[in-house]
Amino acid sequence: MKSKKSFSKKILLILCLCLLAATCIGCAEKLDTSVKVRSSSTADYTISAGMDDEMLKALADMSETTTDAIIQTQKDGGYTYTTETIDGVLFHVFTKSGTKAKFSKIENELKELGYTNVCMKKDYFYATYTASDLSTGDSNMTTTEGFDYSDFTYYQKISVQLNSKVKRTNGKINSTNKRCVTWTHNNHEKSKNFYASTSGTKKNARIRNLRNGKTYKIGKAGKKIKIANASYAARIQLNGKTIKNGKVIKKAGTYTLSIWNKSGKFSTIKFTITK
């Protein structure tokens, strides 16, 4: 039998989509996310993931347990459990919320639900979601290749309210509260980026001296990261840690450098440093 911790880590897709191709016909899922900035470093949030009877039973079968046990495990992990009917389909919904939570906590909660490239700030939001891609930060699970999505119902809605008026986004800005943006996503097979920014800039930061897939010598002074137009970046990270332009790498290894731009563009490269 699976441990309780294994259920709580990946409440919905990451635990069960890998087996749906063989076990589910006519499954349905839903994912709702709401974030409201409260201060320069905190926000209120509510995230909920739901699955229909077919999906819940498939997860129970895979885990050699019961649906009641899965529901109880999610409750023990801090989720509330409710049921909801959409278009005649009954969903088992697991919800977690928090008030005045640190942005870092919200980012981690979103990552546990399958979001990637997450960046939450008072004046910027970015996240990527690919329901059919199970590659995550702490898992090597594969995609659901061969799964027939034609009989799969999928609902996703995101709402984010930033600290001031949103000027750039690929979502829908609230006509009254122009700080709030909403997105809907119903295509299960396609990756979706969600971004909103209070900056109106179209310019982007770019990496000057490193290229994806390349190998570089570390040298005596180390390898310095050079970013052009760094002021247009909302965040720059090296191996998941936020850095500033000019960071010097002093150890050999494989690195991932990611840039979230205020314009809404996200870019990432992987490179290797050798002695």
pLDDT tens, position by position, 161-186: 999 999 999 999 999 999 999 999 98
pTM of the model: 0.84
CA angle centred on 260, ends 109 and 96, rounded to 5° = 10
pLDDT of residue 77: 83
Sign of the dihedral defined by the CA atoms of residues 175, 176, 179, 184, in that order = negative
List Cα–Cα distances, 119 to 110, 212, 216, in angstroms: 10, 21, 28
- 151 burial (CB, 10 Å; 0-12 / 13-18 / 19+) is exposed
pLDDT of residue 246: 96
pLDDT of residue 113: 81
Query: Do the Cβ atoms of 91 and 84 come closer than 8 Å?
Result: yes
pLDDT of residue 187: 78
43, HSE (Cβ side, Cα atoms, 13 Å): 25
pLDDT of residue 140: 35
What are the φ and ψ backbone dihedral angles of 109, each rounded to 5 degrees? Answer: -65, -40
Low-confidence ranges of the chain (pLDDT < 70): 1-26, 131-152
User: Residues 6 or more apart from 18 whose CB is under 8 A from it?
Assistant: 134, 141, 142, 144
User: Residues 6 or more apart from 167 whose CB is under 8 A from it?
Assistant: 197, 198, 199, 200
Angle between the N-to-C axes of helices 67-76 and 53-62, in degrees from 0 to 180, rounded to the nearest 10: 90
pLDDT of residue 215: 97
Which residues are registered as beta bridge partners of 224? 248
